[in-house]
């Protein structure tokens, strides 16, 4: 008995220490916003977007012009100023136009891929925060339910004590009430300790380093999915960032193939020169250059072959990605629909007036129509049904979070 008392005291100390921490009310929307704002992986991915934008600017570069001064037929003594031929020239090289636009297109797809990766990461992180938030919601509701049950038992205890004093009840009934109350007190300590743990997990999932625990403000609600399963799967696939990333990869490989084909096309160069000739003659020189691609070289052909193979690989991966997305969404959606049905089943039971049944049973006990054991059976049935209903709603919300992660749905 002494050991039991010490264990209870230790547990209560742990709970009280947890409750002593600073707490702050928070909605699910704010929790997700805070988590996304401070997540280092997202911050790093955003910098990847900046980096990709920088590569777009680099891809659109034009080669710098070349400025030159030349002195020819310099007399003995290396008197450069007395050279018979003095030329000042400027030359500008130009790529075949499709080469520059091709590099820009590739860099643009890299930026699109970086943006899609950020959105993909956000949906998955948001789903994790939502699950932690639901766990904290369920934990605090569990505490409230047990506290309500303890209050109800104390009312029972008063009724039983009054009946015992009048000789209408046995002392064994009084003991049963006391034992049940003590058991619920222990359950309450465990529920409070679990609530603090869920608050800590929520805080860590959000990624907040402040010495604060968050208390969920939103209610644990149930909103069933009404659409057809097949239409939902098709709709979710269209919104999937993984599918978008696969499509962007195909587009990038197509751009690479187009760029590889431009290696068969020539580049150009244009030059302008001022030419001074001794004794006092001056001329204007114009230069036009064209590179001559050697068609029999193996390099352009090899680049095209490589790009074509990579495009085929990307197209095959697209098929695999769509199949994987469909399977993941189908599994997650099946779980959602299953837990949804469980919630509906419990709602039907609760709608039959389970709370009213408890009032009726209590009235019958007062009038000696049922004994304490039957009253306890009804009480435990009501308690377990309510607890299972809340658990089923929490499981449903967790399943919805998993679905949002699998389908990568936009954050609302």
CA distance 198 to 141: 12
Residue 69: strand pairing partners: 88
**pLDDT value, residue 411:** 66
Residue 201 DSSP SS3: helix
What is the set of domains in the chain, with CATH numbers?
19-61+97-136+185-264+297-407 (1.20.1600.10)
**pLDDT value, residue 15:** 44
Which stretches of the chain drop beneath a pLDDT of 50?
1-19
Contacts of 254-258 with CB under 8 Å at 24 or more apart are 254/311, 255/102, 255/105, 255/106, 255/109, 256/106, 256/307, 256/310, 256/311, 257/304, 257/307, 257/308, 257/310, 257/311, 258/98, 258/102, 258/105
Contact 318, 378 (CB under 8 A): no
CA distance 136 to 197: 9
CA distance 391 to 350: 14
- Within 21-96, residue ranges assigned H as helices are 28-38, 40-59
CA distance 380 to 188: 16
Q: Other C-beta atoms within 10 Å of 348: how many?
A: 9
pTM above 0.75, yes or no: yes
**pLDDT value, residue 179:** 85
Instruction: Report the first-to-last Cα separation within the chain, whole angstroms.
Output: 53
**pLDDT value, residue 3:** 35
Contact 337, 403 (CB under 8 A): no
Token couple for 149: 């049950």
**pLDDT value, residue 16:** 45
Q: Over the stretch 226-267, which tens digit does the pLDDT of each residue have? A: 667 788 888 888 888 999 999 999 999 999 999 999 888 888
């Amino acid at each position: 008995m002494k050991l039991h008392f010490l264990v209870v005291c230790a547990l209560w100390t742990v709970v009280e220490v947890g409750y002593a921490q600073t707490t702050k009310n928070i909605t699910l929307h704010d929790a997700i916003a805070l988590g996304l704002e401070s997540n280092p992986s997202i911050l790093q991915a955003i910098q990847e977007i900046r980096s990709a934008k920088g590569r777009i600017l680099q891809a659109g570069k034009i080669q710098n012009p070349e400025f030159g001064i030349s002195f020819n037929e310099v007399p003995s003594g290396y008197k450069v100023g007395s050279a018979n031929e003095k030329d000042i020239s400027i030359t500008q090289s130009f790529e075949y136009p499709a080469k520059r636009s091709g590099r820009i297109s590739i860099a643009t797809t890299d930026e699109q891929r970086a943006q899609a990766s950020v959105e993909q990461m956000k949906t998955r992180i948001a789903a994790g925060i939502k699950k932690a938030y639901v766990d904290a919601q369920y934990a605090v509701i569990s505490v409230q339910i047990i506290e309500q049950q303890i209050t109800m038992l104390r009312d029972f205890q008063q009724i039983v004590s009054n009946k015992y004093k009048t000789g209408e009840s046995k002392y064994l009934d009084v003991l049963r009430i006391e034992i049940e109350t003590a058991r619920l007190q222990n359950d309450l300590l465990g529920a409070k300790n679990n609530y603090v743990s869920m608050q800590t997990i929520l805080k860590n999932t959000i990624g907040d380093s402040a010495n604060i625990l968050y208390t969920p403000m939103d209610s644990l609600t149930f909103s069933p999915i009404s659409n057809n399963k097949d239409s939902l799967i098709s709709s979710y696939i269209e919104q999937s960032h993984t599918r978008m990333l696969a499509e962007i990869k195909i587009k990038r490989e197509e751009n690479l193939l187009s760029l590889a084909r431009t290696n068969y096309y020539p580049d150009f160069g244009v030059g302008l020169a001022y030419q001074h000739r001794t004794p006092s003659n001056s001329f204007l020189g114009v230069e036009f250059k064209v590179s001559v691609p050697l068609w029999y070289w193996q390099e352009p052909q090899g680049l095209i072959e490589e790009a074509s193979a990579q495009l085929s690989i990307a197209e095959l991966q697209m098929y695999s990605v769509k199949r994987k997305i469909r399977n993941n969404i189908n599994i997650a959606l099946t779980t959602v629909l299953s837990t949804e049905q469980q919630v509906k089943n419990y709602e039907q039971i609760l709608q039959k007036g389970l709370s009213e049944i408890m009032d009726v049973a209590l009235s019958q006990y007062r009038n000696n129509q049922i004994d304490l054991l039957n009253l306890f059976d009804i009480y435990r049935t009501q308690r377990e049904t309510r607890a299972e209903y809340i658990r089923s709603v929490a499981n449903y919300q967790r399943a919805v979070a998993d679905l949002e992660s699998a389908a990568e749905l936009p954050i609302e």
